[in-house]
Amino acid sequence: MAYIELLIEENTSESGNMQLDARGGCFDALAVARLLRCDAVYYDANGFERAASEDGPYEVCGELTMSDTVQSLVQAGGAARETVAESDLGFLWDFWYPALRSTEVTDKRLATAMLLEVPLVLGRASDGRAFAMRDSCPHRGIPLSYGRFDGQAVECSYHGWRFEACTGRCIEIPSLTSQDKLKVERIFAGHYPCEERDGYFWVFMNSQGTRLPETILPAPQLAVFSEKYRITHLTCDLPSHVDHGIIGLMDPAHGPFVHQSWYWRSRHSIHEKEKKFEPIPYGFRMSPHTPSSNSAPYRMLQKYTGEPVTTTIDFVLPNIRTEEIRSGKLWFSSRATVTPVRRGLCRIDFVAAWNLLLPVWIFRSFAKKFLRQDQETMILQAEGLEHNPRLMLIDDADRPAKWYFGLKTGLLESRRTGEAMVHPMIGPVTLHWRS
C-alpha cells in the first residue's frame, strides 16, 4: 500500500513540472535569432535544426540540441512516466491534436490511437461525451483498451480495477477488503481533455499528466460560410518526424515537380511568384491574394462566378494549415494538420468543406492523388533521412519553414521564461520564388 501511495504522491508532486521545464531549456533564443538572419539554415535530419551563415556552409551559428533527460526519466516511474515522452522529441505539448475519426468510435467500443508517443484509449460515454485516457493501467501497465467499457467506466482486464472514463478516477479495486484503508478515489488513470469536432476526436495533449493548464483554448474548428455544404475527410501517414511533415506541407517549390498533372500544372508552367505574408498569433498568414493563374480549378471558379477569387492561407502552431477560397457566394475551406504519432511517424488529416457544385467523389479523387504524391515523395525522403544527412533551408522558398522553426522555438522559450512569445516575423514580408 505504501508503494501505491508513493506513486499517487509523485503524480501530484511538482517534480513532473520541473522536468517539463527542462525540455524547453535546450532551446536558445539567441540561436534562433541568428538562425532567422541566416540565408541558409542547415539542420539535422532528426528534426533539430542548426543554422549556418552564408560565408561557410559548415559554420554552425546556432545549435539546438536534444535534451538528454529521456533516459533518466524512463528509469524514474510514476509522474516521470507521464512526462517522459515530452522530455524532448521535438513535439509541442499543451495543444489539441486530432487522434482519430469520430466514425471509428461506435457504441461502447474502445478505440486506440497514439499521439506524441503516448498510447491512448478513446471512447464515447453513454451521455455522448468523448473521453481519452492513457492506454495503460496505473496498477501494472496493461493497456486499458483490453478491458471492458460499460458506457461509464473502463474495467481493467488484469485485476478488474475500474476507472471513470471521463475523469480517469478509480472507482473500484475488487481485491480490497473491508480492512483496507487505501483511498481508491485518489488513484487516477492518465486522462486527457477530449472533444469531438469536425468529425474527429481531438485530444489536448497535456504535458503534466492529470494537471491541466489554467486556460485551454477550445479545440480547432473548420470555418464554414453557409448553412449547407459538402464535407469530406482524408488521411495519410508519413514516415517522418512531424517537422518534416510540416515543412513539406508549407513548401511551395515542390508543386511543379511532385504534383505535375495536366489539370493542375506542369513543370513548364513554373513562373516567378510574389506572395505577401504577415505574422499572426502563433503563426503566419499568406495575405489574401488572387490564386495562381496557372491552376485550372481557380480559373474555372472565376469563370463561373464572374467575381474575383481570393485565397487566405494560415499556418498556426502546433501543426495547422487552413485555406479559405472565396468567390462571390461560393466558398471552399480546408484544414490540414500534421500530427506527430511517434518520432518517425506523423499523419496528415485533411478536411475540406465547400458549397460549390463539386461532387464529393470528384474532389476526393483529386485530393487523394495529391496526398498520395506527397506521401510517395516523403517515403523516398525518409530513405535518405535515415542516414542523418545535413540539410538546408534556402530563401525565399523555404522561409516559411524557417518561420516554423522560429515559432516553435519562440513558443518553447516563452513557456520556459514566462515572457511574451517572440515572433520570428517583425512585420509583413514579401517573398519571391518560382513555382
What residue ranges bind ligand FES (CB under 6 A)? 137, 139-140, 142, 156, 158-159, 161
Q: Are strands 50-52 and 330-342 parallel, antiparallel or unpaired?
A: unpaired
Measure Cα distances from 391 to 126, 136, 235, 375, 383 in Å.
50, 38, 27, 20, 14
Q: Which does 156 bind (CB under 5 to 8 A by kind): Fe ion, ligand FES, none?
A: ligand FES
Instruction: Give the Cα separation of 301 and 28 in Å (integer).
Output: 47
Nearer to ligand FES, 50 or 162 (CB): 162
Which residues, listed in sequence order, are joined to residue 315 by a DSSP beta bridge? Answer: 284, 321
Measure Cα distances from 337 to 10, 25, 86 in Å.
34, 27, 20
Binding to Fe ion by residue 86, rule CB under 5 A?
A: no
Nearer to ligand FES, 143 or 279 (CB): 143
Instruction: Give the Cα separation of 249 and 432 in Å (integer).
Output: 18
Q: How many residues bind Fe ion (CB under 5 A)?
A: 1
Minimum gap (Å) between residue 340 Cβ and ligand FES: 27
Binding to Fe ion by residue 396, rule CB under 5 A?
A: no
Q: Which of residues 333-392 bind Fe ion (CB under 5 A)?
A: 374
Nearer to Fe ion, 94 or 374 (CB): 374
What stretches of 88-229 show up as alpha helix (H) in DSSP? none
Instruction: Give the Cα separation of 153 and 170 in Å (integer).
Output: 9
Over its C-alpha atoms, the chain yields an Rg (Å, rounded) of: 24
Nearer to ligand FES, 84 or 156 (CB): 156
Binding to Fe ion by residue 240, rule CB under 5 A?
A: no
Question: By CB neighbour count within 10 A (0-12 exposed, 13-18 middle, 19+ buried), where does 359 fall?
Answer: exposed
Minimum gap (Å) between residue 158 Cβ and ligand FES: 4
Cell of 258: 511532385
Q: Which does 374 bind (CB under 5 to 8 A by kind): ligand FES, Fe ion, none?
A: Fe ion
Minimum gap (Å) between residue 6 Cβ and ligand FES: 17
Cell of 320: 495547422
Binding to Fe ion by residue 247, rule CB under 5 A?
A: no
Q: Which does 43 bind (CB under 5 to 8 A by kind): ligand FES, Fe ion, none?
A: none
Nearer to ligand FES, 140 or 434 (CB): 140
Minimum gap (Å) between residue 176 Cβ and ligand FES: 12
Binding to Fe ion by residue 164, rule CB under 5 A?
A: no
The count of residues in the chain is 435
Asked if 260 contacts 266 with a C-beta cutoff of 8 angstroms, the reply is yes
Minimum gap (Å) between residue 351 Cβ and Fe ion: 17
Q: Which does 159 bind (CB under 5 to 8 A by kind): ligand FES, Fe ion, none?
A: ligand FES
